[in-house]
């Protein structure tokens, strides 16, 4: 008692403590007036002083807003029980109302910490240990065992990755399965996976996945090209990748001879089975450059035509820029027209510039060109050879291409001249020749005067008569197969040689 606070000691002296009743007695003993609804006895205290138990009790107002209910308020016990606070079941069992001043001074249990079994979301709030020095959160360390486990796992993964990379590298650079060379066709629009599948299907590579991975790692996936490729025996995947990325496809060739017409060129291209597509229309005469052109399989035919036209335009522009001065040619188109006539008149490289000088001299003197190939083109329209000798009626028949009947140049070229004929036309020899005729050796005899030309023509006619007699004897002896071998001209047919008799000035 001596250790109690003064106010507690005074309260205990005024209200002596009573021994608590047993639990069964407390449950069985009803409150005074409980069944009759009599008001609960109010606890009175002297004026100006508060009861010791007033600090643990308080008046409560019902929900309907009527007078307070509780000890000292005149309310019933049932109403007071209804207003008791609802505590959690597990927590409520450990918190009891004090029955004495000494029990009231005993400490109450601390509230459940956040994240405990009695708090909210206790399962999702793990307890984190704190550093005892600065109270900061600490991470649990796995120690040596955790480090060893992590290290061994990483080492295993690196070992597996290294093995896979090494195997892929050896397979990619190693010798391939081909026992002999093979041609592989890669269609246009085929992706990298499609290329790899096609190569694997044809036995060029062993594993399409390794090939795809190797190409991607090498950075060549955007450089792979379609086409037909010759793959050598034993070629590695790396070698196959190099062949396809460099576009080293099998090249096919088409040779266009000098002096062919555009219709004849189109016919040649249409006969090539390794080309595809149709040609839009027959190109203008003289717009194609006769050359040998290379192309991969399934190249469109129109693309070859376009390539020939670009080449002709380039060559003509270069030669026109370096042409000889004083030529009677006003435009590059006129140069192509005259070069086509030169191309058809002679196939001898050494005399192209002389033949060109004859026509240049005639144009300067306003003389008609009188060229046999222009007669033939006017009759056939460039669709092929005449197939017979030129008659006098052909010479006398007026056409827009017959240079025996018109002055100057024909309206268009009569063939596609080559580079040499264009160069000879734009840079001819400086001569005074006005005539030429075949000389029986494959070339021509040139003359500056009509008398010289007449003599050359007479000599040529003797050669032509002998050749005709020999041809008739061979035919009579049944040697038709050797007819061309008895040709004294050394090229072409007798018919062609006879045509050469009708030349300028004759």
User: Given a cut of 80, is residue 312 above it in pLDDT?
Assistant: yes
Q: Which residues does residue 137 pair with via DSSP β-bridges, in sequence order?
A: 130
Going by C-alpha positions, the residue among 505, 506, 502, 501 that lies closest to residue 461 is 501
Does this model's pTM top 0.85? My answer is no
Cα dist. 97→45, 87, 89, 206, 291 in Å? 21, 12, 15, 88, 117
**β strands within 176-219, DSSP E:** 182-186
Range 182-245 classified under CATH 3.90.79.10: no
**Cα three-residue angle 136-140-143, rounded to 5 degrees:** 135
Q: For 434-453, how does the pLDDT look when each residue is reduced to its tens digit (9 = 90+)?
A: 999 888 888 898 999 999 99
Q: For 133-162, how does the pLDDT look when each residue is reduced to its tens digit (9 = 90+)?
A: 555 555 555 567 777 878 788 888 888 887
Pairing of strands 275-276, 292-296: unpaired
The token duo for 114 is 């956040």
Q: Read off the pLDDT band of 408 (50, 70, 90).
A: very high
pLDDT mean over 332-347: 94
How far is the C-alpha of 378 from the C-alpha of 359, rounded, in Å?
19
Average pLDDT, the chain: 77
Distance of CA 262 to the CA centre of its chain: 36
Is the separation of the CB atoms in 343 and 422 below 8 Å?
A: no
Structural domain spans, the chain? 182-245, 251-310, 334-499
Q: Read off the pLDDT band of 132 (50, 70, 90).
A: low
CB-based contacts of 233, cutoff 8 Å, min separation 6: 178, 179, 180, 181
CB atoms within 10 A of CB 437: 25
Is the separation of the CB atoms in 45 and 51 below 8 Å?
A: yes
Is the separation of the CB atoms in 249 and 227 below 8 Å?
A: yes
DSSP helix/strand/coil, 231: strand
Q: How much helix, strand and coil, in percent to the nearest 5, is found in the chain?
A: 45, 5, 50
For residue 152, what is the DSSP state? H
Output the pLDDT for position 351.
92
How far is the C-alpha of 289 from the C-alpha of 272, rounded, in Å?
18
Output the pLDDT for position 481.
47
Q: Read off the pLDDT band of 92 (50, 70, 90).
A: very low
DSSP H helical ranges for 365-418? 372-380, 392-396
CA diameter of the chain: 173
Is the separation of the CB atoms in 453 and 437 below 8 Å?
A: yes
Q: Which residues does residue 438 pair with via DSSP β-bridges, in sequence order?
A: 444
């Amino acid at each position: 008692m001596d250790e109690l606070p003064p106010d507690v000691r005074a309260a205990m002296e005024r209200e002596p403590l009573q021994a608590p009743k047993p639990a069964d007695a407390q449950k069985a003993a009803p409150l005074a007036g409980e069944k009759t609804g009599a008001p609960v006895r109010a606890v009175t205290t002297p004026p100006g002083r508060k009861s010791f138990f007033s600090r643990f009790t308080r008046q409560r107002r019902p929900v309907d807003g009527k007078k307070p209910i509780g000890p000292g308020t005149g309310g019933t016990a049932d109403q007071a029980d209804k207003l008791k606070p609802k505590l959690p079941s597990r927590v409520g069992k450990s918190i009891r109302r004090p029955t004495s001043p000494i029990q009231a001074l005993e400490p109450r249990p601390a509230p459940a910490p956040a994240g405990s079994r009695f708090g909210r979301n206790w399962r999702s709030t793990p307890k984190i240990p704190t550093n005892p020095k600065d109270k900061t959160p600490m991470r649990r360390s796995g120690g040596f065992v955790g480090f060893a486990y992590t290290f061994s796992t990483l080492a295993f993964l690196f070992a597996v990755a290294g093995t896979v990379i090494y195997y892929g590298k050896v397979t990619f650079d190693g010798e391939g399965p081909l026992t002999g060379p093979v041609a592989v066709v890669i269609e246009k629009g085929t992706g990298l996976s499609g290329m790899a599948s096609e190569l694997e299907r044809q036995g060029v590579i062993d594993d399409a996945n390794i090939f795809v991975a190797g190409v991607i790692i090498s950075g060549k996936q955007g450089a792979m090209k379609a086409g037909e490729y010759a793959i050598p025996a034993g070629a590695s995947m790396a070698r196959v990748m190099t062949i396809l990325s460099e576009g080293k496809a099998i090249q096919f060739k088409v040779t266009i001879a000098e002096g062919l017409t555009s219709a004849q060129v189109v016919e040649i291209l249409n006969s090539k089975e390794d080309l595809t597509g149709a040609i839009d229309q027959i190109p203008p005469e003289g717009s194609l450059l006769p050359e040998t052109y290379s192309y991969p399989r399934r190249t469109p035919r129109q693309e070859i035509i376009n390539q020939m036209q670009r080449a002709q335009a380039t060559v003509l522009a270069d030669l026109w820029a370096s042409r000889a001065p004083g030529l009677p040619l006003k435009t590059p188109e006129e140069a192509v027209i005259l070069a086509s006539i030169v191309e058809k008149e002679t196939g001898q490289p050494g005399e192209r510039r002389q033949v060109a000088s004859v026509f240049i001299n005639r144009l300067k003197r306003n003389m008609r060109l009188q060229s046999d190939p222009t007669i033939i083109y006017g009759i056939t329209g460039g669709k092929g050879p005449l197939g017979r000798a030129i008659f006098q009626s052909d010479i006398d028949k007026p056409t827009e291409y017959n240079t025996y009947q018109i002055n100057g140049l024909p309206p268009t070229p009569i063939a596609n001249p080559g580079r040499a004929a264009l160069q000879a036309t734009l840079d001819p020899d400086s001569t005074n020749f006005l005539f030429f005729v075949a000389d029986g050796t494959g070339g021509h005899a040139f003359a500056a005067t009509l008398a010289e030309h007449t003599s050359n023509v007479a000599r040529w006619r003797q050669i032509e008569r002998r050749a005709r007699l020999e041809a008739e004897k061979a035919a009579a002896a049944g040697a038709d197969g050797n007819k061309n071998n008895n040709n004294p001209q050394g090229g072409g047919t007798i018919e062609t040689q006879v045509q050469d008799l009708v030349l300028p000035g004759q």
